[in-house]
Chain A
Amino acid sequence: MLWEKKRLWSPPAQLKTSYDAVIIGGGLHGLATAYFLARNHGMRRVAVIEKRYIGFGGAGRNTAIVRANQRTQENLPLYKEALDLWPVLTSELDFNLMFYNCGILNLAHSEAALKAMRLQVATAQFHGVESRLVDPQECKELVPALDISDRPRYPIYGGMYHPPGGIVRHDALVWGLAKGAAKHGIHIHQGTEVTGIGVENEKIVFVDTDKGKIHTPCVLNAAGAYAAAVSYQMLRIRLPISVLTIQAMVTQPLKPLLDHVVSSGSYHCYANQTLKGEIATGAHMDPWPNYTTQNTAYYIKHQAEALTELMPCLKGIKFMRIWGGLADMTPDMAPILDGNNPVKGYFMDCGWGYFGFKSSTVTGKYMAQFMATGECPEILKPFTLRRFEQHRLMGETAALVNYSPDN
């Protein structure tokens, strides 16, 4: 029947007492890993344990921008593959992820920022990703609403244009992956809290939850912003992570005026127009760690100032909705992807900061491979937790966001 409502997936009846793998966190990384464990490696006795509901955390709070113009050789290939995966997953999951590759324009407001972009563009081009420098005139042609005069406090010097980047509907990805994972027999347990992880002889043996004990040899910590707290509280493994609230907001709906993602490191502002016409825009992070996801008047004001400086035609537009999410920041802006070290059977997929959305599917694919085979795939090797004690921090921090007009 045309109007018959059908659930995308059905929750499993009850928690089993043993699974081949337990994934902590029903966010995008957890769901993607579960999906690829079943699809690529035939591991179907897998449970995803989610304390609240799937998509509650970062998965449903990010601003849905996807791109592959990162700075370093280690990071970029991962994001490139992620970008290539969207159309593939859309058909594979049989779910419209609403991938809109509208292109991303990063603005430079100083000579130093342009120099930094030159390096970023070179990395992208070396890896076969389309990305190029543009002058202020071309910025204006791409986004006519931009003010390229010398009126703003930080005038536009040029930009970096990355045509294959764009937007993916984040809720659709949550639902699509849950549907795909459940179809392959994965158990997704919502409203279930992990309360402890059992280790014997340096090996994972069980996971305790508020609904009962699960015997398992394999655990993935994909708890997003809560991963570091879980790791310390349950295993006494400390991680180099700070959890910061990042805020985002949408304006009232407008007629189409912005058909690219536009971002500016100096103004700490990125914006795109959603299909509903709202300008979705994101802001600074709170300068102190906290778990609140609260919003502050301080940043609403900042965001209004930044948006209207960049695009004066937005003056007088009202913010309609505002929310906050948590970002687990590492010192080098790169994630921690590791496993079997120091505890056998314990895997980590955390420390993504605000890059967790765009990387979720591809990371799930490779983490699944890591968990199923026990061999760390080449592409994940640079992200070991050990890099911090080896002083091999990655150079992603030097990307644009740190370049201000003062450099």
Chain B
Amino acid sequence: MALTITCPICGRRNGYEFRFGGEDRGPRPDEEGLTPETWCDYAHMNNCVASIQKEWWYHRDGCGSWFTIYRDTRINLEVSSPNLD
């Protein structure tokens, strides 16, 4: 199973060069009026979809970029768009 990931700077590289950075949860919630529930939701909670998800990656053994890609968790392959064909 060859997961390759497209880094915005280095291009398409072997998945083991990267560190998975979690599901994309949108922007960090505002400090003002922040409740434990909102923070917990942002820090810990996942959708775990068996489908295409937007997620963060870090090019650990490369250029050090943080970026998002779309990946289908059922086949473990990067896909170009969030929409199912």
Contacts and interface: CB of A to CB of B under 8 A. Distances in A.
Interface of A: 226, 228-229, 232-233, 238-243, 286-292, 294-296, 298, 331, 388-391
B48 A241 contact: yes
B61 to A, nearest CB: 12
A331 B48 contact: no
B10 interface: no
B74 A291 contact: yes
13 contacts: A233-B49, A238-B46, A239-B45, A239-B46, A243-B48, A288-B15, A288-B71, A288-B76, A290-B73, A290-B74, A291-B73, A292-B74, A294-B1
Interface of B: 1, 3, 15-16, 19-20, 36-37, 39-41, 44-50, 71, 73-76
B20 A287 contact: yes
Given A298-B16, A389-B37, A331 B49 contact: no
A389 B48 contact: no
B46 A287 contact: no
Contacts of B48: 228-229, 232, 239, 241-243, 289
Contacts of B39: 389
B20 A289 contact: yes
**Which of A241, A286, A389 is most buried by chain B, counting CB atoms within 10 A of its CB?**
A389
A385 to B, nearest CB: 10
A240 B46 contact: yes
Contacts of B20: 287-289
Given A287-B19, A294-B1, A232 B50 contact: no
